[in-house]
Amino acid sequence: MNDTKRAFRHTILSPGYHLFSRYDLKNLRWRKSERAKKRKNIALPLASMVDIFAILVIFLILNFSTTGEVSFVNKNIQLPQALNAQTFRSFPLIVVTRKGVFLDEERTETLSELQERLREIQVLKEKTDPKNSFRGRVNLQADKNTPMIKVKKVMKALVAEGWTEIYFATRAR
Amino acid sequence: MARRYSAELNLTPFIALFALLVGALLLTGVWGQLGALVSSPAPVLDANSSESQEERVQLSVTVFDNELKMFEGQGQIDVPDIDKKINKDLLLKELRRWRQFHPERKEVVLYTGNRTPYHRMLAVLDILIGEGWSDVGVSAQQ
């Protein structure tokens, strides 16, 4: 045996790393080695994270608006869309749904109750803001498939109390 | 021998600022833009009053479930729907004809059928406002 080994000592090598060099995982081998253990400072690659943040910030700045949504849309209603809508402004909000008529998110049982509460709002407005005369402006939200008879009943009650400037809420197209 | 300097930027405050900005912008973002179409009070015309006898022609549009009717004084034009949608081309054509005859007018009265869906009324109101008829009175007459 020893004779054989001696005879082929230039061709028989002690076993080393077994994978072919073509498929060698040099980086893995390096990490497993002692050299990698010595290096303690591991830096996270933050460039991609900064990129994501930058894109997010730009997108959100583009979506930012100081006007528009000043009231919540009832989840049970789907507003119609309009091309020529004005900016939505803050006036008393009347919502016509299947469950009834709501004034500023509080349900009114009858139209006379709605009128009563509108009178209270009018009195309050005249007391708190006597310089500006009452113009009877009100926002109205209704589902796009609501029959007009329901809307007209509410409108009639509004007009009877002097709330004649009705702003029909729409989704901007 | 030249000293080696670390050329890496300290990104921690940068990321902290971005995180704050993202949070603030998410909270204040407007995700659904609301608008409003305004209607003026509709004039109530009494057939016996002297106003209705004046030369001033009343322009009105009545919105039904499947058609529109446009009234110019005594004249009437029907605008039937196409594929269950408002015939916008014909409506615009007639509105532009009205504009030729009444260039100074801005008021139109909008009537609706009781069972007409709300979105049809708003679609016509939107078209009227877009065509410069800014003083549209929506009638509450049932």
Residues facing A139 on adjacent strands: A93, A167
Give contacts of A56 with chain B, Cβ < 8 Å: 18, 22
CA A65-A67-A69 angle, 5° bins: 95
Q: Kindly provide the ipTM of the predicted complex, given to two decimals.
A: 0.74
Q: Does residue A38 contact residue A50 with C-beta atoms inside 8 Å?
A: no
Confidence of residue A22 (pLDDT cuts 50, 70, 90): low
Q: Which of B29, B38, B139 sits opposite A64 (nearest CB)?
A: B29
Tell me which H or E stretch contains B100: helix B88-101
pLDDT digits (tens, 9 = 90+) for B10-39: 888 888 898 999 998 888 777 767 888 888
CA distance B8 to chain A (A): 10
Q: Which of B28, B36, B114 sits opposite A168 (nearest CB)?
A: B36
Please state, rounded to an integer, the average pLDDT across all residues of chain A: 81
> What values do phi and psi take at B92, rounded to 5?
-65, -40
Give contacts of B113 with chain A, Cβ < 8 Å: 148
DSSP three-state, residue A45: coil
pTM above 0.80, yes or no: no
Alpha helix stretches (DSSP H) within chain A: 2-7, 26-32, 34-38, 47-63, 111-128, 148-160
Residues facing B85 on adjacent strands: B82
DSSP three-state, residue B108: strand
To test the contact with chain B by mutation, choose from A148, A150, A173 the residue with the greatest count of B C-beta atoms within 10 A, namely A148
- Give the up-direction half-sphere exposure of residue B63: CA atoms within 13 A in the CB hemisphere: 32
Q: Which of B22, B112, B122 sits opposite A168 (nearest CB)?
A: B122
Integer Cα distance of B15 and A166 in angstroms: 47
Give contacts of A71 with chain B, Cβ < 8 Å: 34
Structure tokens at B114: 């009781």
User: In chain B, where do the E strands start and end?
Assistant: 34-41, 59-63, 67-72, 75-80, 107-112, 135-138
Quick check: B34 and A88 CB within 8 A? yes
Quick check: A70 and B21 CB within 8 A? no
pLDDT (mean) for B85-97: 92
Residues facing A102 on adjacent strands: A95, A107
* Per-residue pLDDT, B55: 64
Quick check: A69 and B35 CB within 8 A? no
Integer Cα distance of A146 and A158 in angstroms: 18
Which residue in A85, A76, A73, A95 sits closest to A141, CA to CA?
A95
Give contacts of A156 with chain B, Cβ < 8 Å: 140, 142
Structure tokens at B91: 């409506």
CA distance B127 to chain A (A): 8
- Whether B52 has a pLDDT exceeding 60, the answer reads no
DSSP three-state, residue A110: coil
**Between the ranges A19-28, A54-63, B60-69, where is the mean pLDDT highest?**
B60-69
A16 touches chain B (CB under 8 A): no
Integer Cα distance of B137 and B64 in angstroms: 17
- Whether B129 has a pLDDT exceeding 60, the answer reads yes
Q: Which of A50, A79, A89 sits opposite B11 (nearest CB)?
A: A50
Confidence of residue A30 (pLDDT cuts 50, 70, 90): confident
pLDDT digits (tens, 9 = 90+) for A68-80: 555 677 777 889 9
* Per-residue pLDDT, A17: 60
Pairing between β-strand A137-142 and β-strand A165-172 as defined by DSSP bridges = parallel
